[in-house]
């Protein structure tokens, strides 16, 4: 187990920012840490990396107790904070040399720097000053410093914020490749990030973990509903209960078209009903629930 978080609590003044937060992350797993702004994502990550001390609870990094052995735990963590703290007047390679000095790499230093430059695609940029780089390449420099000591666990806080579409795709691909060999926890409030990068997500809201599991499970946490878009050639003048007792909700969306939610797949029943009643069924399209609607559902159920 790469990460074990047990009953973490954190309070600022009168505000309880984290309330009994617990989760585990396996080796070589990429996990999305989802939540709205202010949910507690960054605070959790700062506690994992040792920048903050929890009021209660424990953090274990690859079996190391981060409270009892903080230096040993930090040696195997790479961290990219939400606001990438770079020295803009340094050259890229100069900055990486500086970052490597914290890890006492000795004779391995130059090899480590060259490896992360290649790994993060900075071969054509490492002789430039950081202030000359685009936002996407600055993020690559941040990732390079997080990787320079070859950590087993990467903690990435909002790594794609502010990137343009091209840069966003490039950073996503980079994270995917890194995740083949390392455990990655990355936070985001952009739900598409999780769908594109990982199979598991942890959702936090108001300091509490409200969902944790594979995306296929999280996508329908509130009701096990199937949703279909159905279009008839003529108006539907029947009671929907005649079609199936599994139908939960029907929304007319115009032009003899309806959005139907049901507790199971009713496409065969719709087809048979239309045939028996001489209705012309033009289309039946199954909708896939997106994480956006799932997240809204989860938050609504907590209020």
Q: If you write DSSP's letter for every residue of 109-174 in order, what string do you get?
A: HHHHHHHHHHHTT-TTTTTSBGGGS-HHHHHHHHHHHHHTT--SEEEEESTTTT--HHHHHHHHHH
Residues 6+ apart with CB under 8 A from 259: 227, 228, 229, 230, 250, 251, 253, 287
pLDDT (mean) for 191-204: 85
pLDDT tens digits, one per residue of 42-76: 999 999 999 999 999 999 999 999 999 999 999 99
pLDDT digits (tens, 9 = 90+) for 227-237: 889 999 988 88
Q: What percent of the chain has pLDDT over 90?
A: 54
pLDDT category, 222, cuts 50, 70, 90? very low
* pLDDT tens track for 101-128: 998 898 999 999 999 999 999 999 999 9
pLDDT at 300 over 70: no
3-state secondary structure 42-106: HHHHHHHCCCCCCCEEEEEECCEECCCCHHHHHHCEEEECCCCCCCCCCEHHHHHHHHHHHHCCH
Q: Which residue ranges does the chain devote to CATH 3.40.50.300?
A: 3-213
Q: Is the pLDDT of residue 29 over 80?
A: yes
Residue 293, pLDDT score:
62
| 266: helix, strand or coil | coil
Residue whose C-alpha is closest to residue 34's, from 172, 151, 189, 175: 189
Angstrom distance (rounded) from CA 53 to CA 32? 23
Per the model's pLDDT, the better-predicted residue between 291 and 185 turns out to be 185
Residue 92: pLDDT over 60? yes
More confident residue, 64 or 220: 64
- The Cα–Cα gap between 266 and 62 comes to 47
For the segment 180-194, what is each residue's pLDDT rounded down to a tens digit?
Answer: 889 999 998 777 778
Angstrom distance (rounded) from CA 10 to CA 288: 37
Question: Per-residue confidence at 163, pLDDT binned at 50, 70, 90?
Answer: confident
CB 9 within 8 A of CB 56: yes
Instruction: Please give the biggest Cα pair distance in the chain.
Output: 81
pLDDT value of residue 294: 63
The average pLDDT across 130-138 equals: 94
Domain with CATH 3.30.70 in the chain: 226-287
Does the pLDDT at position 8 exceed 60? yes
pLDDT, position 108 = 93
Q: Read off the pLDDT band of 261 (50, 70, 90).
A: confident
pTM above 0.85, yes or no: no
CA 214 to chain centre: 11
pLDDT in the model for residue 225? 60
First to last CA, the chain: 33
What does DSSP say about strands 208-214 and 200-205: parallel, antiparallel, or unpaired? antiparallel
Summary mean pLDDT of the chain: 88
Nearest CA to 62 out of 33, 24, 100, 30 is that of: 24
Stronger pLDDT, 91 or 213, i.e. the higher one: 91
Q: Which residue has the higher pLDDT, 225 or 86?
A: 86
Q: Which two tokens stand for residue 268?
A: 């065969």
pLDDT at 223 > cutoff 60: no
CATH of 3-213, one of 3.40.1000.10, 3.20.20.70, 3.40.50.300, 2.60.15.10: 3.40.50.300
Vertex 268: Cα angle to 265 and 269 (nearest 5): 90
pLDDT given at position 220: 53
pLDDT of residue 219: 64
What CATH number was assigned to the domain covering residues 226-287? Answer: 3.30.70
**pLDDT score for 5:** 96
């Amino acid at each position: 187990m790469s990460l074990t978080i047990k009953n973490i609590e954190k309070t600022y003044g009168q505000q309880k920012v984290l309330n009994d937060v617990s989760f585990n992350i396996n080796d070589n797993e990429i996990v999305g840490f989802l939540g709205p702004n202010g949910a507690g994502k960054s605070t959790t990550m700062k506690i994992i990396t040792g920048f903050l001390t929890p009021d209660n609870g424990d953090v274990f990094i690859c079996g190391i107790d981060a409270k009892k052995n903080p230096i040993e735990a930090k040696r195997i963590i790479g961290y990219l904070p939400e606001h990438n703290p770079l020295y803009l007047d340094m050259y890229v390679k100069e900055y990486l040399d500086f970052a490597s000095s914290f890890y006492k790499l000795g004779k391995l230093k130059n090899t480590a720097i060259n490896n992360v430059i290649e790994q993060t695609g900075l071969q054509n940029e490492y002789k430039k000053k950081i202030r000359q780089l685009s936002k996407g390449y600055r993020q690559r420099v941040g990732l390079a410093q997080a990787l320079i000591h070859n950590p087993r666990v990467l903690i990435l806080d909002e790594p794609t914020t502010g990137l343009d579409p091209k840069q966003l795709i490039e950073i996503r691909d980079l994270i995917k490749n890194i995740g083949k060999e390392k455990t990655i926890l990355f936070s985001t409030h952009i739900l598409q990030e999780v769908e594109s990068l990982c199979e598991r997500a942890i959702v936090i809201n108001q300091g509490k973990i409200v969902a944790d599991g594979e995306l296929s499970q999280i996508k329908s946490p509130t009701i096990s509903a199937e949703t279909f878009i159905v279009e008839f050639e003529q108006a539907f003048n029947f009671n929907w209960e005649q079609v199936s007792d599994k139908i939960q909700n029907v929304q007319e969306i115009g032009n003899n078209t309806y959005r139907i939610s049901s507790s199971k797949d009713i496409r065969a029943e719709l087809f048979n009903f239309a045939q028996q009643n001489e209705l012309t069924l033009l289309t039946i399209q199954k909708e896939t629930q997106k994480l956006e609607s799932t997240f809204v559902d989860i938050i609504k159920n907590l209020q």
